[in-house]
């Protein structure tokens, strides 16, 4: 009896702030400080790595593999959610039966 060869399961390791910290042997606070300060080439590299982590998080959220609330919290932890104004109501878009679009 022949057994079919099974394909090895590939598992992508998620990009995380703590995975980056483990790779560069720095504490999260040090990585964030260096990345957002960008005082040298190392800071620029760390910022690019954080942006890659953020892109991964957003991609997983858009694919439905990661809860939006969890992804928003992770992006906030990375310090990459700037530009959002506090205190504004969310924009609401309503479609009626005729397909008319109304907003706040």
Cα 61 to Cα 35: distance, rounded to the nearest angstrom: 24
Q: What is the pTM of this model?
A: 0.63
Does 65 have pLDDT greater than 80?
A: yes
Contacts of residue 103, Cβ cutoff 8 Å, sequence gap at least 6: 91, 92, 93, 94
Residue 87 has which token pair?
């205190």
∠ Cα 13 51 72 (to 5°): 80
Among 79, 25, 33, 27, residue whose Cα is nearest residue 53: 79
Could you report the per-residue pLDDT of 1-29, keeping only the tens digit for each? Answer: 566 677 766 766 778 889 899 989 999 99
Q: Which residue has 């099974």 as its token pair? A: 6
For residue 93, the cross-strand partners are: 103
């Amino acid at each position: 009896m022949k057994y079919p060869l099974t394909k090895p399961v590939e598992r992508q390791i998620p990009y995380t702030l703590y995975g980056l910290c483990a790779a560069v042997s720095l504490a999260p606070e040090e990585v964030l400080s260096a990345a957002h300060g960008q005082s040298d080439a190392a800071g620029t590299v760390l910022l690019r790595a954080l942006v890659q982590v953020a892109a991964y998080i957003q991609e997983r959220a858009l694919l439905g593999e990661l809860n939006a609330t969890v992804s928003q919290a992770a992006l906030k932890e990375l310090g990459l959610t700037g530009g959002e104004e506090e205190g504004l109501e969310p924009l609401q878009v309503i479609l009626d039966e005729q397909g008319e679009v109304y907003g706040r």
